[in-house]
Amino acid sequence: MAKLSDMTDRLEGQEMFQILSRAKELEKEGKTIFHFELGDPDFNTPKNIINSCYDALNKGFTHYAPSSGLLELKVAAADSTERGRRGFRPDLNQLLVTPGANVQIDFAVSCTANPGDEIIVPDPGFASYFSIIKARRVEAIRVPVYEKNKFRLNPKDVEKAITDKTKMIIINSPSNPLGAVMTPEEIKEIYDIAEKKDLWLLSDEMYTRLIYDNVQFSSPSIYDKCKERTIIVNGFSKSHAMTGWRIGIMTAPKEFIEKAGLLMETSLSCTSPFIQKAAIEALSGSNLYCDEMIKQYKGRRDLIVDGLNSLPAISCIKPQGAFYVFPNIKETGMNSREFAKLMLEEGGVSLSPGTAFGKYGEGYVRLSYANSVQNIENGIERMREVLNKYLDKN
């Protein structure tokens, strides 16, 4: 075969998808598997959203659409940002509609950093950050996020990591894989650092609707209205149980959106218009179903945290956002990968090693509780059996 590019050697992908493949193989062999590896809601997409998609298909929204997104969707997104907790109205040329949010991270890195530049990334952090940054020949400067700080990124650690080559800081609150929500004061400190050093600030806000215990969400965009440096990565996958639809909207300075829009036009052409019509319904229609999902997630979070803390050699702090828990497994004597492998092969419990989210995830695993109460209860009991057997032997 002819030779592939060097870039392909730097691609890492997302390890959770590889774990899912192994879990599916075991299922094919007839084993029952409890899935906690992927952040994919078990809820169906709300009916009103599905119906608006059918309607759009029947009305002929099946052709190319404007590359940066349907005007009507951009207006709905601007309305929603203004109505919501960010409280400002972006101009329509500050918005770009994309197929899912993941590609927005690639656009953000590609349009702001040159090969050899540095981007500050929380570790543990969402796996795509590391893979995209590496693929683009940019250096990821990992800032450890500590359990003793309730897994919140410390602005002082971010400041210390800045060099002359730094181009961007990435923050993600609520966080995947940690579920941590940064305080408004911490967000302000991070914004001030980015402003002082004139850096880009990527705020990944995928989980902003999934916050519990009346904790306050804060976005750095309130300081510059996305006109200077803040790039908001956002989408519908998690908030509206729409992972398979592939739709998101990014907000950023208009000069950035113009270039990212050209990238979009070049490689993806446009986002499916019937999916965009469904997204308009998601932003403007009833929120009752989503509110109910959030209520259910909160109950599941409490259940899984209590369940994990009842297991031998495991401890788990209670996160206040997203739908992930990140228990500490150090006392088992296993490393993250050994633990994840044992749980899958012996217990049929599929979860992600903490190291799938960076080297500082060693000693932890991630479980997604976007799963039913019954599956959470059964999964915890399976883990208990496997752990008791393992700890007896070792």
Ligand X SMILES: Cc1ncc(COP(=O)(O)O)c(C=O)c1O
- Contact present, 119 and 141 (Cβ < 8 Å): yes
Task: Select from 33, 101, 365, 386 the one that contacts ligand X (CB under 6 A).
Answer: 101
Of 172 and 272, CB closest to ligand X: 172
Of 39 and 379, CB closest to ligand X: 39
x/- map, 20-59, ligand X, by CB under 6 A: -------------------x--------------------
Rounded CA-CA distance 173/102 in Å is 16
Q: Which residue has the tokens 């949010």?
A: 101
123 binds ligand X (CB under 6 A): no
Identify which range of 94-102, 144-152, 306-314, 335-343 contacts ligand X by CB under 6 A. 94-102
Identify which range of 100-108, 114-122, 256-264, 287-295 contacts ligand X by CB under 6 A. 100-108
| SS3 state of residue 375 | helix
x/- map, 164-183, ligand X, by CB under 6 A: --------x---x-------
- Contact present, 213 and 225 (Cβ < 8 Å): no
Of 94 and 176, CB closest to ligand X: 176
Site for ligand X in 245-284 (CB under 6 A): 248
Q: What is the CA radius of gyration of the chain?
A: 21
Which stretches within 84-219 are classed as H helix?
Answer: 102-112, 127-135, 155-160, 184-196
Which one, of 391, 382, 361, lies nearest residue 123 by Cα? 361
Query: DSSP strand E in 95-226: where?
Result: 95-98, 118-123, 139-144, 166-172, 200-204
Task: Select from 117, 139, 204, 281 the one that contacts ligand X (CB under 6 A).
Answer: 204
Least distance from ligand X to the Cβ atom of residue 100, Å: 3
Least distance from ligand X to the Cβ atom of residue 244, Å: 9
Greatest pairwise CA separation for the chain in angstroms: 64
Contacting positions for ligand X (CB under 6 A): 39, 100-102, 126, 172, 176, 204, 206, 235, 237, 243, 248
